[in-house]
Chains A and B, each alone.
Chain A
Amino acid sequence: MAVLNRLDWYDIARDTNWTPTYVAESELFPEELSSAFGLPAEVFEEYDEPYKTTYPEYVKVQREKDAGAYSVKAALERSKMFENASPGWLSVLKLHFGAIARGEYSASSAEARMVRFGRAPGMRNMATFGMMDEIRHSQLQLFFPHQYVSKDRQFDWAFKAYDTNEWAMIAARHFFDDVMVTRGAVGVALTLTFAFESGFTNMQFLGLAADAAEAGDWTFSSLISSIQTDESRHAQIGAPLVQILVKNGKKAEAQKLVDISIWRAWKLFSILTGPVMDYYTPLEHRKQSFKEFMQEWIVVQFERSLLELGLDKPWFWDDFLHEIDEQHHGMHLGVWFWRPTVWWNPAAGVAPAEREWLEEKYPGWNATWGQCWDVITDNALDNKMEQTLPVTLPVVCNMCQLPINFTPGPAWKTRDFSLTYEARDYHFCSEGCRWCFEQEPTRYQDHLSLVDRFLAGQIQPPDLGGALKYMNLAPGEMGEDALKFAWLDEVRAERLKKAS
């Protein structure tokens, strides 16, 4: 029997719009769950998904992808990757799995909202596959690290992190809850798929897969590549929607949601990806700096797609470009200094050759960040380890929930961007984070940052020990210097050479 080509039947088969008679349209698609800016159903009929696939095709391809990822894992289980990997690379894995695996499940619920409440049939169809993608990503990224739990309990945080009040997890969860869990279908398409996925994660996963291959971790490389191919498909849900919104007079509304998500995604990137690329990855495996990666892969393609779809560059674009040069150095220094408060072992990445690389990639690094690391290095050389650790909490931002920091040294650029709203003082790291809050204060106003919770007496005893307990960090899980300060040998050798 002759079978029609997919394109001959696709449109009519996936067009599941119907005219409700038992309930009103507004009950079928409540505004708070569809978040369609009050636009009528017919304007969404123009939605044309750029990637068309059918359920049988999807299942076939996904089965092959799963078979590929799992068979690479099985084949390499005796490869001694864990034993041979650099400590910095293992930290990359722990950080990635802890921050992302359970977040994928939240992404699945966000996709499910588009499946049910999306106004365009094509959007609902693509989101159905996206929803299943995200379940797959969660399962893969929980199963793969599980093989390492018996060797290193920090890997247990792949599952555990999401349920804790560990500060970096609060930050990740606050962002994910904002862009995935608490937006209507159109909102999710803009904040999650268009801004976060097509703008950031799709490209980041490509880079991460390459880094993994470079580090000799073929299992992780194949896993991330497998995930990225899903990501590149379902990330396309948002773009056709942007065009519809712009065409129907909702450009400002779309722009605002996209801007919020870009800014917030950037802040999370500055702590999750920046330190990994510029500090944790062994020098010999670095292909490009985080700044170069951001400029080449994120900035250029984002600018192009924003303008092509009829949106503008976000108002904070200059601040964003400026931060790409500086912000992640502070995030890295903060994570390393407060290392007992994270579930991975941050690699300092400041041995002499690494500092030379940093100065080359970020001219002025030695006169700014380098000054702080000079003090830390001298303390470590003098065995004053207590001075390389904190005795108070950093003040964290009431939007991104990350330490408020910026460039140190003579430039001394760090400052508090504060705001008083309904008699409560809020503290932000930047104009961008304060602006996000101001767009919808009631959405964010009741959240307490880790420092707010500390001051409210929720963390007992009220000291660093109490904070570690509050964050569920047990001995053996708290971070320490990834190389156990072995990098000091290179510092000593260089100083000896200079002295002779």
Chain B
Amino acid sequence: MALFPLTSNFQEDFVLQLLAVDTENSMDELAAAAAVHSVGRRVKPRPGVLRVRRQGTDEAFPRNLKVGDAGLRPMECVEIYWEGSAGSVRAPRH
């Protein structure tokens, strides 16, 4: 168990935020922690399953994968998005 800082980029939010999780957290728990900082603050709540992926990839991490086993670097940027939602696939540029 160890505190692990990540960068959260939540779907449809405007800013990257510091996200403190634990290496033992699952990806679902990571997504829930990220949602606290975005959903209901600047992003409208919506139904559906939140998934997590590395920035720049299309494939989500398995939902029960532990943060510590995902090969992420501290402060690496992860994207949290509603599975299958419109706009969840990123455009190549900003």
Give the B-binding residues of A (Cβ under 8 A): 330, 333-334, 337, 369, 371-372, 374-376, 379, 387-388, 390-395, 403-416, 418, 425, 427, 430, 451, 454-455
Contacts and interface: CB of A to CB of B under 8 A. Distances in A.
Interface in B10-47: 11-20, 36-37, 40-44
Indicate the member of A369, A404, A412 with the most B CB atoms within 10 Å: A412
Chain B contact residues (Cβ within 8 angstroms of A): what range?
Answer: 20 to 34
Contacts of A414: 9, 13-16, 94
Given A375-B43, A416-B16, 16 more contacts: A330-B14, A369-B14, A375-B42, A388-B41, A392-B17, A392-B18, A395-B75, A404-B15, A410-B87, A412-B87, A413-B91, A414-B14, A415-B55, A416-B77, A418-B77, A455-B74
A395 B17 contact: yes
A427 B94 CA distance: 15
A330 B80 CA distance: 19
Indicate the member of B5, B17, B40 with the most A CB atoms within 10 Å: B17
B60 to A, nearest CB: 16
Contacts, number: 114
Given A415-B94, A416-B77, A427-B7, A394 B40 contact: no
B90 to A, nearest CB: 7
A460 to B, nearest CB: 15
Contacts of B87: 410-412
Nearest to B94: A413
Given A395-B18, A454-B18, A375 B41 contact: yes
A379 to B, nearest CB: 7
B42 A376 contact: yes
Contacts of B13: 372, 408, 412, 414
A372 B37 CA distance: 13
A413 B90 CA distance: 8
24 contacts: A330-B15, A334-B15, A337-B42, A371-B12, A376-B42, A395-B7, A395-B16, A395-B18, A403-B16, A404-B15, A405-B14, A406-B94, A408-B12, A408-B14, A412-B12, A415-B77, A415-B94, A416-B7, A416-B9, A416-B55, A418-B76, A418-B77, A427-B7, A454-B18
